[in-house]
Amino acid sequence: MNENKIIIFDTTLRDGEQTPGVNLNIEEKLEIARQLEEMGVDVIEAGFPASSDGDFEAVKAVAQAMEKCSVAGLCRSVAADIDRAWEALKYARHPRIHIFLATSDIHMQHKLKMMPEEVFEAAVASVTMAKSYCDDIEFSCEDASRSNPAFIYKIIEAVIDAGATTINVPDTVGYAVPDEFASFIRGIKENVPNINKAILSVHCHNDLGMATANTIAAIQQGVRQIETTINGLGERAGNCSMEEVIMAITTRQAHMGVSTDIDTTQIYPTSRIVSEITGVPISITKAIVGDNAFAHESGIHQHGVLSNPMTYEIMTPQSVGKTESVMVLGKLSGRHAFSDRIRAMGFEMEREEINKAFKIFKDLCDKQKRVSDEEIAQIITDHCIYAQAKAI
C-alpha cells in the first residue's frame, strides 16, 4: 500500500442513517452505495446488521452488490452481533467486521457498567472471534478522546495482537480540539509498540464544529484511514464531512503530502443524491457543495472572478462536479458583472445605456433582495434606447 494514500471509510449508510429523521430502505442504501463505489470510496460501512432484520438485509444486499470496495458491518463486542454481522458480510468480495467498545470512564461506568478489566477482556475476545470469520477486522475505542491514554494504549496493543488490522480512534462526542487530538494520536503511535501492524483510523464528530479540522490534524500525525459521511450526516451535529476533507487534501496536496483515490468530480452529484434520498437539505453556505459555495455577489469579488477565477475561488466548480460559478446580481454587485450578465442574456448596448440600466438596477436592488434576469430584461426594454439594445 502507498504509505501516503488515505483510505476513505464512508459511514453514510450507518452513522449517516443515525441522523434524526433519516431511515433508508434497501434500495436507497444500494443506490447510495453504488454511487460511493463509483466515487472511489475504499470502505463502505453498510449498516449495523444486529440492529434489525431490515438493516441485516440491507448490509447483505450491499455486500453482494459491491465489486471493488470493502464492505463493513458494525457490531458490539458480543458474540451474537459478530455472528450476525458475518452472516450479512460473508457475501462480500472484501468483507470487514467492525467492532466497537467504549473505553472512557464515563461510558464504562454509566453505559456498559463494566470495569476496565472486563472491557479489556471483552475487546480481545471479540476480535479473536471475529478473526475466525475473516482477516479484515477493525476495532474502535468508542469515546477514545475522553479515555485514559494509558488504557487506550493497553487495549490497542492487545487487540492488534488478537488480529485487528485497523484501529479506529473516535472523537465520538466531538469533544477534541485539533492540537489536543493531534497529541493524542501521536501518543498512540509512540506508546503502542505494535501499532505499525495495523492501520490507524479516526472517526470525528462535529459537536464543536471541528470534525474536519480534527481529521486533518490526525492525518498530519500519520493516520491513514479517515471515517466520513456525505454532507456531514450523522448523530447530533454530524460527522466529518467527506467533501470537506477530500477537497482539503486535494486543494492543499503540496502541504498535506497525502492523496486519495476519490474522483472529486463525483462529489457534487453524490451530495445531491444523498440529500434527495435522505430528505436532509444542504445549507446554502455548506463548504464545497452548498448553493453559495461558488456564488459571488460582491462587486469586488465578481470583478476578480470574471478576470481570473483563482482570485476568489481556490478550486474550480468543475473539480467537484458542478457546472460553473454563479454571479448573483444584487445591491453589492458591480458594473462589470452587470455588463457581463446582459451580454450573456443577448443584449448589445452602448456604455451610456449600460450605465442607465445599471443605475435603475441598483435602485431596484435597494427595494428587494434579488433581481432576476427577467427583471433586468424588463429594465432594458422599458428604460433604454432599444434601438441600441439589440437582442442577438
Range with the poorest average pLDDT among 77-81, 221-225, 358-362: 358-362
For residues 178 and 307, give the distance between their C-alpha atoms in angstroms, rounded to a whole number.
37
Please give the average per-residue pLDDT across 64-74, as a whole number: 98
Range with the poorest average pLDDT among 40-44, 121-125, 239-243, 374-378: 374-378
Q: Identify the pLDDT of residue 388.
A: 44
Q: Identify the pLDDT of residue 387.
A: 37
Range with the poorest average pLDDT among 225-229, 253-257, 362-366: 362-366
Q: Identify the pLDDT of residue 304.
A: 61
Q: Identify the pLDDT of residue 307.
A: 65
For residues 132 and 86, give the distance between their C-alpha atoms in angstroms, rounded to a whole number.
10
Q: Identify the pLDDT of residue 355.
A: 84
CB 296 within 8 A of CB 326: yes
Start-to-end CA distance of the chain, whole Å, equals: 57
59 band by pLDDT with thresholds 50, 70 and 90: very high
For residues 53 and 50, give the distance between their C-alpha atoms in angstroms, rounded to a whole number.
7
Q: Identify the pLDDT of residue 391.
A: 44
Please give the average per-residue pLDDT across 257-279, as a whole number: 96
Please give the average per-residue pLDDT across 173-193, as a whole number: 98
Q: Identify the pLDDT of residue 142.
A: 98
Please give the average per-residue pLDDT across 244-265, as a whole number: 97
**Containing H/E element for 257?**
none
Q: Identify the pLDDT of residue 208.
A: 98
Please give the average per-residue pLDDT across 74-82, as a whole number: 98
Asked whether the predicted pLDDT for residue 54 surpasses 80, the reply is yes
Please give the average per-residue pLDDT across 140-151, as a whole number: 98
Q: Quick one: cell of 212?
A: 474536519
Asked whether the predicted pLDDT for residue 239 surpasses 80, the reply is yes
- Tabulate helix, strand, coil % of the chain (nearest 5): 50, 15, 35
Please give the average per-residue pLDDT across 106-123, as a whole number: 97
Range with the poorest average pLDDT among 6-15, 63-72, 209-218, 337-346: 337-346
Please give the average per-residue pLDDT across 180-186, as a whole number: 98
153-159 long-range Cβ contacts below 8 angstroms, 24+ apart: 153/187, 153/188, 153/191, 153/192, 154/120, 155/103, 155/119, 155/120, 155/123, 156/188, 156/192, 156/195, 157/192, 157/193, 157/194, 157/195, 158/120, 158/123, 158/124, 159/123, 159/124, 159/127
392 band by pLDDT with thresholds 50, 70 and 90: very low
Q: Identify the pLDDT of residue 389.
A: 41
3-state SS, one letter per residue, for 304-342: HHHHCHHHCCCCCHHHHCCCCCEECCCCCCCHHHHHHHH
291-342 per-position pLDDT tens digit: 877 765 555 555 565 567 677 778 888 999 987 666 666 666 767 777 877 7
Q: Quick one: cell of 269?
A: 452529484
Amino acid sitting at position 159: V
Alpha helices in 132-241 (DSSP H): 149-162, 178-191, 211-219
**In which residue are the cell numbers 491514554 written?**
149
For residues 138 and 153, give the distance between their C-alpha atoms in angstroms, rounded to a whole number.
16
pTM given for the model = 0.87
358 band by pLDDT with thresholds 50, 70 and 90: confident
Q: Identify the pLDDT of residue 44.
A: 98
Asked whether the predicted pLDDT for residue 367 surpasses 50, the reply is yes
Instruction: Count CA atoms within 13 Å of residue 357 on its CB side.
Output: 31
CB 392 within 8 A of CB 353: no
Count other C-beta atoms under 10 Å from residue 391's C-beta. Answer: 11
For residues 252 and 326, give the distance between their C-alpha atoms in angstroms, rounded to a whole number.
24
Asked whether the predicted pLDDT for residue 285 surpasses 70, the reply is yes
Asked whether the predicted pLDDT for residue 126 surpasses 90, the reply is yes
Averaged pLDDT of the chain? 90
**Containing H/E element for 6?**
none
For residues 329 and 337, give the distance between their C-alpha atoms in angstroms, rounded to a whole number.
8
Q: Give the torsion through C-alpha atoms of 287, 291, 293, 297, to 10 deg.
A: -140
Nearest one of 149, 160, 222, 155 to 187, comparing CA atoms = 149
